[in-house]
Structure formats: C-alpha cells, structure tokens
Homo-oligomer: A and B are copies of this chain.
C-alpha cells in the first residue's frame, strides 16, 4: 500500500481555516472575540448585519473548529476555539497598517 502524497495534502486543513476566516464579517468577528465571548445579538449589532446572517457565520465557524458556542440561559455566547486564528489576526495587523491588503 503506497499512498500518494501531494505537497498540497498537508495544507488541506490550514487552507480550510484560511478560507473560513477569509470573509470580512468573519474576520471582524474573530477580532471582536479575541478578548472575550459575545452573544449573537451583540455581534450582529456591532457588525451591522442581520441576525440570521450573523448566526450563519458563527455556526459555520463553529463547524470548522474556529469558534465554540456556550449557551447561557436564553443567550448563546461564542468564543474562539482555535487560538491560532488569533495568531493569524496578529499576523495581519502586524504586517504594517496596509498589511496583507496591499502589495509588499
């Protein structure tokens, strides 16, 4: 049994994470949650997006292992499960102000 390994194979999961946070709203959510949990409505309000969309983003990121969810009574609080995404965020901020955005 010889299993063919492509160079891309080891990037399957990192790529999935990058794709997961590769959305303006979702990146903003990660930043908001960096310093603590927030409820769905809080997040939606800050983002200025509809509740249902926010919920979808949050659920999606939880599915991918980026966030976790914790119910507290009537509310659900989300937090960062995969701490590496914070590292990612810092990496983005660190790259100057215009960082990953611009060239060089």
Interface of A, secondary structure class, is: helix
Give Cα distance in the complex from A51 to B99, angstroms: 31
Copies in the complex: 2
- Residue A60 is within 8 A (CB to CB) of chain B in the complex: no
Give Cα distance in the complex from A23 to B49, angstroms: 27
Give Cα distance in the complex from A9 to B28, angstroms: 9
| B7 A15 Cβ-Cβ under 8 A | no
- Residue A55 is within 8 A (CB to CB) of chain B in the complex: no
| B47 A24 Cβ-Cβ under 8 A | no
Residues of chain A having any CB pair with chain B under 8 Å = 4, 6-28, 31-32, 46-49, 65, 81-85, 87-88, 91-92, 94-95, 99-104
